[in-house]
Amino acid sequence: MLEIQERFDTAGYEHIIAAAGINNVHITEALDGSTAIGFIAYAYEAERTVVYDYDDGGDLMLCDGLVRSVMLKSAMKGIETMTFELPDTGKLASLVKLHFLAEGSNVCKNIDGFLNACEHCKK
CA dist., res. 69 & res. 74, Å (int): 9
Per-residue confidence (pLDDT) for residue 78, from 0 to 100: 94
What pLDDT, on the 0 to 100 scale, is given for residue 40?
98
CA-nearest of 34, 33, 31, 51 to 42 is 51
pLDDT greater than 80 at residue 44: yes
What pLDDT is attached to residue 115? 78
Distance CA 9, CA 17 (A): 12
pLDDT per residue as tens digits for the range 78-101:
999 999 999 898 899 999 999 999
* Separation CA 6–CA 99 (nearest Å): 24
Note the pLDDT tens digit of each residue in 110-119.
888 777 765 5
Topology adopted by domain 2-122: Aminopeptidase (3.40.630)
Within 10 angstroms of residue 98's Cβ, the number of other Cβ atoms is 14
Q: Measured between alpha carbons, how far is 91 from 122 in angstroms, rounded to an integer?
A: 28
